[in-house]
Amino acid sequence: MLVKISVNFAALREAKWYQFALRFCFGGAICVLAGVIAEHYGPTIGGLFLAFPAGGAADIFDRRHLLLFWQSWMLASVAILAALTLAGIVSPATLLALTFLLNIGSALNNPAWQSIVPELVPRPELPDAIAINA
């Protein structure tokens, strides 16, 4: 099914030049602001959705095994990305997919990492270790 699209340029003749400039500036500013917000908060927003299952897994399963698994997961995704980059065959979709896998590993690794500190550090040194780990 074809849809006929018609464009009416009469609206462009009725507007003033400064209205277009103002719309262009505001549109550009909003795009830049959205990009800055996504760059800064993007990784943490993904972690919010995985925080509860990752915390539950850190409480239920052996933390050392979880850390080994998720660290291996991240190592594998970075190794694949490095190999594809060195071969020169990485595409934007591949880069996004492997970065997504790396961030999943990081989000699921962090609760186990933070909760294993009291098991590794003596009690008198615990506040300093928690401060360094944060």
CA distance 122 to 21: 63
Contacts of residue 82, defined as CB under 8 A and 6 or more positions apart, other chains included, come to: none
Which segments within the chain are labelled E, that is strand?
none
Considering only 3-12, 44-53, 104-113, which range has the smallest mean pLDDT?
A: 3-12
For residue 77, what pLDDT is reported? 94
Q: What is the mean pLDDT of the chain?
A: 82
Six-digit token string for 63:
């933390």
CA distance 33 to 14: 30
Whether 94 and 84 have beta carbons less than 8 Å apart is answered as yes
Q: What is the mean pLDDT of residues 14-18?
A: 72
Does the reported pTM lie above 0.85? no
Selection from 70, 68, 37 nearest residue 53 by Cα: 70
Binned at pLDDT 50, 70 and 90, residue 3 comes out as low
pLDDT digits (tens, 9 = 90+) for 71-94: 999 999 999 999 999 999 989 899
